[in-house]
């Protein structure tokens, strides 16, 4: 069993019920909208809410958001999401209840990143702030991929390095770890590897589970469900986020279903009931997904052929349509991500054996779409950059033309070389 980490009034791990969380997709500078979304999420069942902090100015915005929430009696813990700036992370203890850092982009120089993390631990200790070591498959950092490749093992080793620093600083009892990937097989293997490593080390910190960039609709819910259910069945996982390219409140019914199916019942019961259809697809995803991902079965019977194919694709056993990766969007998103994702899906539905990413920002998006053959990345100001693998191939295209140009690019490549899926 993992140890308990206290985050504001919420306990993660240690045999407590699984904690359900989500993330705002408002701009952090829009205090009214972010406060409103936090309140809606808390009402819809979020036990913890993450908010992006993309600049030092947003540290103060987060303080104002927190104060507004507390003034109306909302105690939901706030998690600050930090990328590319150890300075921002250092300004957050005492304001955020937990700080999520990504070791792959905490500081460009690895040795300096370690020094900065040691300093962050001390600052967090003085305020009682928890830390999430948030590893992402798409942004591991050259320092680790050059040695171990872009693999589940590398993700687990990266997490262990930072966790080891927290253990040595006697701060592991305030640390949670996540190892997210959009590929369910990679994600499950990474958490299993980390579970084994922590067991050997004799320190089990709570795990935050999630499939990143899972997309939306039934396929996004199924992709999250099969992977999260597999790990929860195996006794790994203490807090979960079902990441969807939709309103954050929409994530909560699926997350609660998983938390209740695999964890202890929450004393207050489930705050957000599922629709009949949602329950049906989640029952099927959780019945067959873990067995498919463990290789115990290769197929299963289901009268609903689309649901059958969705579950097989989520488990990477069959690719009956393009594999879509789409981030949920956050305060860094500067365009209509949800509408664009729908347009991309409609325009590319006829392709096979191709992975297409639609990402909300040019800062993090290109790095995070690890598995994608093609990427549509919104730059803001009505412009888009299209990627082939990790290379930008068409920059600064007007949004109105970008979906057609993406389709042309895929067609042109497919004519030259048949595509194969990762």
| Binding-site string for ligand SF4 from residue 277 to residue 316, where x marks contact by CB under 6 A and - marks none | ----------------------------------------
- Asked if 80 is part of the footprint of ligand SF4 (rule: CB under 6 A), the reply reads no
Quote the least distance from Cβ 328 to ligand SF4, whole Å: 6
Looking at 314, 327, 358, 402, which residue binds ligand SF4 (CB under 6 A)?
A: 327
Residues in binding contact with ligand SF4, number by CB under 6 A: 12
Residue whose beta carbon is closest to ligand SF4:
360
In the region spanning residues 368 to 387, those forming contacts with ligand SF4, defined by CB under 6 A, are 368
- The least CB distance from residue 390 to ligand SF4, in Å, is 14
CA-CA-CA-CA torsion sign (144, 190, 212, 350): positive
Stretch that binds ligand SF4, among 39-47, 251-259, 269-277, 325-333 (CB under 6 A): 325-333
Residues in the chain: 422
Q: Is 215 in the site for ligand SF4 (CB under 6 A)?
A: no
Q: How far is the CB of 329 from ligand SF4 (least distance, A)?
A: 5
**DSSP secondary structure string for all residues of 17-36:** PPEEEEE--S-TT-HHHHHH
- CA 343/CA 270 separation, integer angstroms: 34
The beta strand positions in 42-129, using DSSP E, are: 48-52, 78-82, 98-101
Does 330 interact with ligand SF4 (rule: CB under 6 A)?
Answer: yes
CB-side neighbour CA atoms (13 Å) of 295: 3
In the complex, least distance from residue 367 CB atom to ligand SF4, rounded to whole angstroms: 8
- Map tokens 């050997």 to a residue: 200
- Closer CB to ligand SF4, residue 138 or residue 290? 138
Task: Please say whether the beta carbons of 134 and 102 come within 8 A.
Answer: yes
Minimum gap (Å) between residue 208 Cβ and ligand SF4: 15
Other CB atoms within 10 Å distance of the CB of residue 396: 11
The strand pairing partners of 45, in sequence order, are: none
The burial class, CB within 10 Å (0-12 / 13-18 / 19+), for 382 is middle
Interaction mask 147-186, ligand SF4, x per CB under 6 A:
----------------------------------------
Task: Identify the CA nearest to 217 among candidates 99, 103, 313.
Answer: 313
Alpha helices in 234-298 (DSSP H): 252-262, 276-293
Is residue 328 at the binding interface for ligand SF4, with CB under 6 A as the rule?
A: yes
> How far apart, in whole angstroms, are the C-alpha atoms of residue 215 and residue 206?
26
For ligand SF4, what does the binding mask look like between residues 351 and 370, x meaning CB under 6 A?
A: --------xxx--xx--x--
Q: Which is nearer to ligand SF4, 51 or 76 (by Cβ)?
A: 51
Nearer to ligand SF4, 2 or 28 (CB): 28
Alpha carbons 103 and 114: distance in angstroms, whole number = 9
Residue 209 C-beta: closest distance to ligand SF4, Å: 17
CB of 243 to ligand SF4, least distance (A): 8
DSSP-derived pairing of the beta strands 130-136 and 175-180? parallel
Give the rounded distance of the alpha carbon of 410 from its chain centre.
27
What residues make contact with ligand SF4 under the rule CB under 6 A? 327-330, 332-333, 359-361, 364-365, 368
């Amino acid at each position: 069993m993992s140890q308990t980490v206290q985050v504001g009034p919420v306990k993660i791990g240690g045999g407590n019920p699984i904690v359900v969380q989500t993330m705002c997709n408002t701009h952090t500078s829009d205090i009214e909208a972010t406060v409103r979304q936090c309140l809606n999420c808390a009402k819809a069942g979020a036990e913890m809410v993450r908010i992006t902090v993309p600049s030092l100015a947003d540290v103060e915005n987060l303080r104002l958001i927190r104060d507004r929430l507390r003034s109306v009696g909302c105690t939901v813990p706030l998690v600050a999401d930090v990328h590319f700036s150890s300075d921002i992370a250092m300004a957050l203890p005492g304001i955020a209840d937990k700080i999520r850092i990504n070791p792959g982009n905490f500081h460009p120089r690895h040795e300096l990143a370690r020094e900065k993390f040691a300093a962050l631990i001390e600052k967090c200790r003085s305020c009682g702030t928890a830390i999430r070591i948030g590893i992402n498959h798409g942004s591991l950092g050259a320092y680790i991929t050059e040695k171990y490749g872009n693999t589940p093992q590398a993700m687990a080793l990266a997490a262990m390095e930072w966790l080891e620093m927290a253990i040595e600083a006697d701060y592991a009892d305030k640390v949670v770890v996540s190892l997210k990937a959009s590929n369910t097989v990679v994600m499950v293997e990474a958490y299993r590897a980390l579970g084994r490593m922590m067991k050997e080390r004799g320190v089990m910190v709570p795990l935050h589970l999630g499939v990143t960039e899972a997309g939306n609709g039934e396929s996004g819910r199924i992709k999250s469900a099969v992977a999260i259910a597999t790990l929860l069945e195996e006794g790994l996982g203490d807090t979960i986020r079902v990441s969807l390219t939709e309103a954050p409140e929409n994530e909560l019914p699926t997350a609660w279903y998983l938390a209740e199916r695999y964890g202890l019942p929450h004393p207050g019961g489930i705050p957000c009931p599922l629709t009949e259809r949602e329950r049906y697809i989640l029952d099927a995803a959780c019945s067959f997904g873990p067995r498919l991902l463990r290789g115990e079965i290769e197929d299963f019977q289901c009268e609903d052929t689309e649901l059958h194919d969705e579950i097989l694709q989520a488990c990477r056993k069959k690719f009956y349509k393009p594999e879509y990766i789409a981030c949920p969007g956050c305060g860094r998103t500067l365009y209509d991500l949800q509408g664009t994702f729908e347009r991309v899906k409609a325009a590319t539905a006829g392709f096979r054996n191709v992975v297409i990413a639609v990402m909300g920002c040019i800062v993090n998006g290109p790095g995070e779409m690890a598995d994608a053959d093609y990427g549509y990345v919104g730059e803001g100001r009505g412009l888009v950059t299209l990627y082939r693998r990790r290379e930008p191939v068409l920059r600064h295209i007007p949004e109105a033309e970008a979906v057609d140009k993406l389709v042309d690019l895929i067609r042109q490549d497919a004519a030259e070389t048949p595509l194969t899926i990762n």
